Amino acid sequence: MHRTAILLAGLIAASAAVSATEQPAPKLSAAECEVWAREASFAQSVADHDAAKFVEHLHADASFIDGGGNVARGRDGVAKEWAPLIAGKGIALHWYPDAVTIAGDTGIALSRGPYWIENLAPDAKQRYVAGRFISTWVRNDAGQWHVLYDGGGGAPTPASEAEIETLKASRKTCPGS
């Protein structure tokens, strides 16, 4: 029993030491940084309540899946479904990428990162919820990236103001090469 406790304590200490050592962010390719910038621009279109800019980011055959599993299909369908979010009436949606991956086919990219939704009602019992998004981007023949699939990693969870401030402060630029 004593040896097991010592072994367990050693494993915990080693694990903590590895966790405490921050790994450098992987260097992303120029194309991955293009997607990173495009994702950030997409988020900015919502923050600016600019429906036209939002639509410019959408692939014609886009499919967006909300936290409830509902699917909006096609550029027009997604734009219609997202119109209240873009308008910022009652809620504000924010997000940013923290990882982009391109593998194999260099015309397809995966972007991931945090998002948060703020309930703008003055008497909101739960002001914030947060989660993670996953978006698939495709590059057209002219070299422009458009979002084809968008969805989260499950339903958002309640978040405190301090947690949202930490998310805001964690935004970084693309760690390009």
Reading the chain (177 residues) residue by residue, the pLDDT tens digits are 443 333 333 333 333 333 344 566 679 999 999 999 999 999 999 999 999 999 999 999 999 998 778 899 999 999 999 999 999 989 999 999 999 999 888 999 999 999 999 999 999 999 999 999 999 999 999 999 999 999 877 788 999 999 999 999 999 999 986
Q: Fill in the amino acid letter for 93.
A: L
Beta bridge partners, 134, equal 112, 151
Alpha-carbon span 159 to 79, nearest angstrom: 27
Residue 61 belongs to some domain of the structure: yes
Residue 24 confidence (pLDDT): 63
pLDDT of residue 175: 93
Length of the chain: 177
Residue type, 23: Q
Number of domains in the chain: 1
Q: Would residue 110 count as lying in a domain?
A: yes
User: DSSP for 120-171?
Assistant: --TT-SS-EEEEEEEEEEEE-TTS-EEEEEEEESSS-EEE-HHHHHHHHHT-
H or E element that contains 83: helix 74-87
Using DSSP, state whether 47 is helix, strand or coil. Answer: helix
Nearest residue to 135 (alpha-carbon basis) of 30, 36, 55 = 36
Domain range holding 41? 26-169
Q: What is the pLDDT of residue 4?
A: 33
Q: What is the separation, in whole angstroms, between the first and last Cα of the chain? A: 50
Q: Is residue 64 part of a domain?
A: yes
CA–CA separation, 75 vs 61, rounded Å? 6
pLDDT for residue 96: 98
Decide if 96 is inside a domain: yes
Residue 113 lies in a domain: yes
Residue 35 maps to a domain = yes
Q: Which CATH number belongs to the domain containing residue 71 in this structure?
A: 3.10.450.50
Give the pLDDT score at 6: 33
| 17 within domain boundaries | no
Beta strand 108-119 with 99-101: parallel, antiparallel or unpaired? antiparallel
47 in a structural domain: yes
Residues 6+ apart with CB under 8 A from 57: 38, 41, 42, 45, 146, 147
The pLDDT, as a whole number, for residue 22 is 53
